[in-house]
A and B are shown apart, each in its own frame.
Chain A
Amino acid sequence: MLASRRPLTTLALALMVLTACRSKPAPVPAPAPPPPTPAAPAPAPPRVNQDSIDRARAAEAARLAATATAAAAARARATLGEEIYFDFDRDEIRDDQRATLDAKVPILSSNPNVRIRIAGHCDERGSDQYNEALGQRRAASAKRYLVSRGITESRIEVVSFGEERPAVQGENEEAWAQNRRDEFEIIAGGDNLRAPR
């Protein structure tokens, strides 16, 4: 009979568990699940089916939510990483670049564990060494801006690559304009970015 064999099975399982992890303290044997209700007449949608439907619905909802969260995180990541551009030999934030910086503020506020590195870059014109310092000033300029919008100073690291890492090759204003930039990189706390509320 099924019911009478169950304790034996449970015992056997418990023994198996015990032998499998002999060095660990003996686990409390899991309580035997209640025996299934003996054949009720006409169980319209079987309970198990309803459960799996619910589970599937929940899983789908969770999947959609996760997708939405991931998409929001990806958008937040992209917004945080968006570059800003500078005029030749200048470190001031251009008016047309403020929106790009402003968009980063709520993301940084919603994700207080995120730390970023701002890297300043220059175009190939100008002195190689002077541009190292100019790149540093460009990075510092963006940091100052974010700090003035309430972001904690210690969350932002600033470095310079001078003119050593151009984004675009070319000896024309179009290329130069794209190379005079700040890059933004998440260096900590970026695994589960939350979208700003």
Chain B
Amino acid sequence: MKRLLAAACLLPAAAFSAAFSAAFSAAFAQDTTRVQGVRIGLTYAPGTRPGVFIAPIAGTGADADSARTILARDLDFSDRLTVIAPDGGDAPAGALNYLLYAQLGAAAVVQASVTPTGSLHVAVHDVAGAKVITVVDVPLPSPALGAEWRRAVHGVSDEVERAITGERGIAGTRILFVRDETLWTVDSDGAVAVPVLGVGNARSPAWHPTGRFIAYQQFAENGHHTVAVRDFAGGPARHFTGRGFLNGAPTFSPDGRTLVFGSGEDGIDLYAADPFGTEAPRRLTVGRGTQSYQPTFRPDGQRIAYTSNLPGHPEVYITDADGTNADLLTSSGMGEQSYRSDPDWSPDGRKVAYQSMTNGGFQIMTINVRDQSVQALTSEGSNEEPSWAPDGRHLVFTSTRSGVKQLWVLDTESGRTRQLTRGARARMPSWSPRLDAAR
């Protein structure tokens, strides 16, 4: 699909509007189910994102209109496409006029219909090649706009994105987080924020790479913590302890076979266990009274980044997965205080995101693992607890910029941010892997 990307040649916004008005002068039906917060139309300065025209969806009422709204928003949130989805209009019938879409700046057209049996049928057209490149046909579970229905549409969005860019999108992913001392999930578009059933007094959630299991820290009123692993959908939890009553900040290895967490009575060390086995966790690091906590694996599973107070304050270190060969990764730069923590290794392995204290608050930074070059990604409010999306370019993190701590999503390439959660304080986000395999 590289060809399609290269073929993307977008008109300036004003020219687009003029062309659009001329082409669609017919009266448009009102899109009554437009979801609040959706931005429709040419949002960005054109240049790097191919335009995708989301045609009005043929079919009946709410399903069709809201499916289109969600498709448009998902592709917009991908930050890799420029969505062209004018309000109203009729579903295109017959052969597409590719020249017209080319003039509108579209490299691709998404032509969809809701079938009488309730399926969403989608054809993705390559405008330059004047042909259909992908067809997706997905049943829409009722009720319309229900959680499962929305996820089915997200799945279509991700297939459309794959057809156009060559890489599957992340609309179908979810984010685990902590609210009111329990675990919640929210869809990648901010919809369907719900508690995870059967989990209470929990913190620090983490996804298994299959998306089928979760690990988290379970705590009791007397301060005793264990690391718990259970099926995301429910069922009994298995509990893991290293030494003492602090057992927390769990993560899974990329192959899903190892659970690593921090534990210790005096110093805190990293411990590893088979999340499905019965052997006692084994200690990885030997901190001799210092603190090694917040582990995160390199995607090849060979190295682990973590927070250590070895220099007398928190810094991010990297060690081999067996706990040997620990090296300092971060060190303070201009305007930063000596406090860096909460590392999360990027899915492409090149960077580690972390939080760095500046002026009493925190900002999200990334450090290039190879040359240690640092990039500051946030500046507004205090921003903490970064977690990478599986596409390797989006991060979810907490921010106080709107008042109470909430989850925000940042596109590390364009700098665009959006608020993901609203309501009571939200924190400790963990972005899921692509969940298709688990469904």
Interface residues, chain A, with chain B CB atoms under 8 Å away: 89, 117, 119, 125-130, 132-134, 136-137, 140, 143-144, 157-161
User: In the complex, how many angstroms separate the beta carbon of B227 from the nearest chain A beta carbon?
Assistant: 12
With A127-B384, A159-B224, A161-B223 given, name 4 new contacts (CB 8 A): A127-B314, A128-B428, A137-B289, A160-B246
- Complex Cα spacing A157 to B220, Å: 14
Known: A125-B360, A130-B341, A159-B245. A89 touches B314 (CB 8 A): yes
Instruction: Name which of B106-114, B154-162, B265-273, B416-424 contacts chain A.
Output: B265-273
**A159 x B342 contact (CB < 8 A):** no
Whether B293 and A159, one on each chain, are in contact in the complex, defined by CB atoms closer than 8 angstroms, is: no
In contact, B314 and A117 (Cβ under 8 angstroms): no
Given A128-B385, A130-B307, A137-B268: A159 touches B246 (CB 8 Å cut-off): yes
B355 neighbours in A (Cβ, 8 Å) = 127
B291 at the A interface (CB under 8 A): yes
In the bound complex, how far is the Cα of B113 from the Cα of A37, in angstroms?
115
Q: How far, in angstroms, from A119 to B223 measured CA to CA in the complex?
A: 8
Chain A residues lying within 8 Å of B246, measured Cβ to Cβ, are 132-133, 136, 159-160
Chain B residues, Cβ within 8 Å of A157: 245
List of 6 A-B pairs having minimum Cβ-Cβ separation, nearest first = A159-B223, A127-B341, A136-B246, A140-B266, A133-B268, A133-B293
What's the minimum C-beta distance from B199 to chain A, rounded to whole angstroms?
Answer: 17
| Complex-state Cα separation, A64 to B170, whole angstroms | 75
Q: A140-B265, A157-B245, A159-B246 are in contact. Are A130 and B293 (CB under 8 A)?
A: yes
Evaluate contact between A136 and B265: CB separation under 8 angstroms.
Answer: yes
A-B contact pairs, 14 of them (CB 8 A): A117-B223, A127-B341, A127-B362, A128-B427, A129-B248, A129-B307, A132-B225, A132-B293, A133-B291, A136-B244, A136-B264, A159-B246, A160-B223, A161-B223
Contacts of A159 in B (CB 8 A): 222-225, 245-246
Q: How far is the CB of B201 from the nearest CB of chain A, in Å?
A: 11
Inter-chain CA distance A143–B385, complex, in Å, is 31
State whether A158 and B245 are in contact (beta carbons under 8 Å apart), knowing that A128-B428, A130-B294 are contacts in the complex. yes
A19 to chain B, nearest CB (A): 51
Instruction: Indicate if B262 sits at the interface (CB-CB under 8 A).
Output: yes
In the docked arrangement, what's the CA distance between A117 and B264, Å? 16
- Chain B interfacial residues counted at CB < 8 A: 36
State whether the Cβ of B3 lies closer than 8 Å to any Cβ in chain A: no
Nearest CB on B from A15, distance (A): 55
In Å, the complex CA distance between A45 and B199 comes to: 76
Q: Which residues of A contact B264 (CB under 8 A)?
A: 133, 136
Q: How many A-B residue pairs have CB under 8 A?
A: 88
B244 touching A89, Cβ below 8 Å: no
Q: Does B214 contact A (CB under 8 A)?
A: no
Chain A nearest CB from B96 CB (Å) reads 52
CA distance A159 to B248 in the complex (A): 12
With contacts A129-B293, A130-B293, A134-B291 taken as known, whether A144 is within 8 angstroms of B266 at the C-beta atoms is yes
Point out the residues of chain B lying under 8 angstroms from A89, CB to CB.
Answer: 309, 313-314, 339
Residues B260-285 near A (CB distance < 8 A): 262, 264-268
**Chain B neighbourhood of A126, CB < 8 A:** 314, 339, 341, 357
Q: How far is the CA of A157 from the CA of B224 in the complex (A)?
A: 10
CB distance from A10 to the nearest CB of B (A): 57
Q: Is the CB of B339 within 8 A of A129?
A: no
Asked whether B294 lies within 8 Å of A158 as measured between CB atoms, the reply is no
Tell me the chain B residues, 400-429 only, with Cβ under 8 Å from chain A. Answer: 427-428
A144 and B267 CA atoms in complex are apart in Å by 12
Contacts of A160 in B (CB 8 A): 223, 225, 245-246
Instruction: Enumerate B356-402 residues with CB–CB distance to A below 8 Å.
Output: 357, 360, 362, 384-385
Residue of B nearest to A132 (CB): B248
> Which residues of A are found within 8 Å of B224, using beta-carbon distances?
159
Cβ distance A147 to chain B, nearest Cβ, rounded Å? 11
| Cβ of B85 under 8 Å from chain A | no
B residues less than 8 Å from A143 (CB atoms): 266
The 8 Å CB contact of A129, one of B244, B266, B341, is: B341
Report the minimum CB–CB distance from B385 to chain A (whole Å).
7
Give A122 Cβ to nearest chain B Cβ, in Å: 12
